[in-house]
């Protein structure tokens, strides 16, 4: 899918893709193979599954490189995290009343 000689494939840091499935697995392996610096991180953001709900990614891909596969749907939202860590507004305004 991606020619090993493509310079741009070597320099990609983030991939945002909608397909998943077999095409993603092939593209991921091709891109990782094209990279000259295997220690450079590659973040693969999966935001769809138009080509299938599973992708047969070889187990060596994440072990031999710094590949991080991200599913934004399963990540906690920044709003939820900040609301859990924020004090109750009433307690913040009146700290002595809730000791």
pLDDT in tens, 18-76: 888 899 998 888 888 888 888 889 999 988 888 878 888 888 888 888 899 888 877 56
pLDDT score of 4 more than 80: no
CB 80 within 8 A of CB 46: no
40: helix, strand or coil: coil
Q: What is the pTM of this model?
A: 0.64
What is the sign of the dihedral through the CA atoms of 37, 43, 48 and 52? positive
């Amino acid at each position: 899918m991606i020619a090993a000689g493509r310079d741009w494939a070597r320099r990609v840091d983030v991939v945002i893709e909608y397909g998943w499935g077999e095409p993603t697995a092939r593209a991921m392996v091709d891109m990782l193979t094209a990279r000259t610096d295997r220690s450079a991180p590659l973040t693969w953001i999966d935001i769809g599954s138009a080509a299938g709900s599973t992708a047969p990614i070889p187990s060596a891909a994440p072990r031999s490189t710094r590949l991080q596969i991200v599913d934004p749907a399963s990540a906690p939202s920044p709003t939820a995290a900040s609301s859990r860590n924020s004090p109750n507004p009433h307690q913040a305004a009146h700290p002595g009343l809730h000791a």
